[in-house]
Structure 1
Amino acid sequence: MTKLSVNINKIATLRNARGGNTPDILEAARKIQGFGAHGITIHPRPDERHIRYQDARDLKEVVHTEYNIEGNPNRKFMDLVLEVKPTQVTLVPDAVNAITSNAGWDTIRHKDFLKEVIAEFKKNHIRTSIFVDPVDKMVEGAKETGTDRIELYTEDYATGYHKGTKEDAIRPYVAASKIANQLELGINAGHDLSLDNIAYFSQHIEGLLEVSIGHALISESLYMGLENVVQMYLYKLK
């Protein structure tokens, strides 16, 4: 079964909008795990507009499933990850002012940089994953960096699915996953996956190990309840 990791950034955004500690992200992480999710994902950014660096430290004592920290590997981020030592670090090439992640790594252009960063994390026994677009050369380049896994950036799939062209939208992801499997790279996926499109994606991507879902899952929970929505994702991922 593909594992479900829930990104709790949006819960932190709601907390920060009012100040104080409501909603409590530590309690949210406990509840989400209790509802059956296989992991918790956070993506701290330099301005700490949602998840704060201290949140990352505090969550270490709460997350007993898989703990995934995403981010652009600047020195401050790397130091945080090396301090917390999560299960997995996912490297994302997002700009400082980006609202959300919007592209995968150019694994050819940035190969030497990624190799150096990944080697440091792996030396500290932290599983690594890097964000990539479903492009054959980028997946092949990822193998050269030494990463354990790739995370397929799924915005284009989600857009195509919404437009009614799901067969065309899934095609490059199927091709990328075949290459990843041949290269013995683990496969994760994330970005704009939702209850509407997750089943079709997971059914067509062989070897899909994990999906990381935040914005859609938290938004859907406003209508249907967090426990119910987590259970619905788990059902669709079977």
Structure 2
Amino acid sequence: MRIIRLAGSNRMRGLGDPDWRGAIEDTDAYRLDDPAARSTILSAGALIISGAADHVLLHRHRSYLTGFVRDGGRVLVNGQVVLPFIDGLARWLKLDYRSPWDLRPHALTPHPVWEGVDYRDLHFRTGVPGTHSYERLQEVGVAGFYGRGYSSPLPDGAVPVTGIGPNSLPLDYEYPLGSGTVLVHGGLDLEGFADERYSSARLGPNLVTWLSSGSTADTPKEASA
């Protein structure tokens, strides 16, 4: 199954070159404007939408992206959604935080993409070389890269996966749409957190497995504009 990642100016980041990355093909999101390229993109088995992709562009193609999901596709949406480009997407709202502990991500509902991931490995990031304990990361790391906001209101049938802060506001969530599924991560690209030094390395292969489990066939789909 092909998994296409609609990218902005960035490519997948991370340490090393694990095998799972080879399952994901980067494509410039602006290719959606070309009918032939759009048909090729929508023939993929699943999509990843980078948080760096142009939301104005994506909104122009809302009917196509929505049709892709309704026909059985799976999509990972990254970033801060301020202009919903798939039916049901909730808007991103900035969290009112005062300390790193207000930005602590934590599990709300088990999900196969986060299976085996210790959420403490998502809380802090640092440029200090080496592998660090959670206690050390509290000293040298910065919180908030994984997420600094939440989504509201969630669509009907949505399941919050990851909460943020003391009120457990929804940072990551999943919802059904037609025969397909949308998974939303309201921060920097989720696939970029697959750090081979920590349990978060599981995010990469878990994500590929989850996306590959969708029911979309590799045939072109064109929703009405």
The TM-score range, normalised by the shorter chain, is: 0.3 to 0.5
TM-score of the pair, normalised by structure 2: 0.36
More strand by share: 2
TM-score of the pair, normalised by structure 1: 0.34
Higher relative contact order (CA 8 A, sep 6+): 2
